[in-house]
């Protein structure tokens, strides 16, 4: 099964999560069938998978700088 091979096997190397959007794209590439994101979500659930949402956090994020900004700048607003 394509999903068991993982996203990297199909070109998504930045993270190892299956999103419904990626599954819909994969279905289109492999089977030439248009699937909506919601349809891909339902299909994934029927197959025992749950779509994941990749974290939108930068790997180089400086948590201390964020905390200082929140206290100094954001609190003023």
Angle between helices 20-31 and 37-46 (to 10 degrees): 90
CA distance 74 to 65: 12
* Predicted pLDDT of residue 5: 92
pTM assigned to the model: 0.65
Report, as an integer, the average pLDDT of 58-71. 75
Q: 10-52: per-residue pLDDT in tens?
A: 999 888 889 999 999 999 999 999 999 999 999 989 988 888 8
List CB contacts of 36: < 8 A, sequence separation 6 or more. Answer: 24
């Amino acid at each position: 099964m394509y999903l068991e091979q993982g996203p990297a096997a199909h070109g998504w190397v930045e993270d190892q999560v299956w999103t419904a959007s990626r599954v819909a794209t994969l279905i289109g590439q492999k089977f030439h069938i248009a699937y909506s994101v919601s349809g891909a979500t339902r299909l994934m659930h029927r197959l025992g998978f749950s779509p994941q949402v990749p974290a939108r956090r930068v790997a180089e994020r400086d948590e201390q700088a964020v905390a200082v900004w929140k206290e100094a700048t954001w609190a003023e607003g």
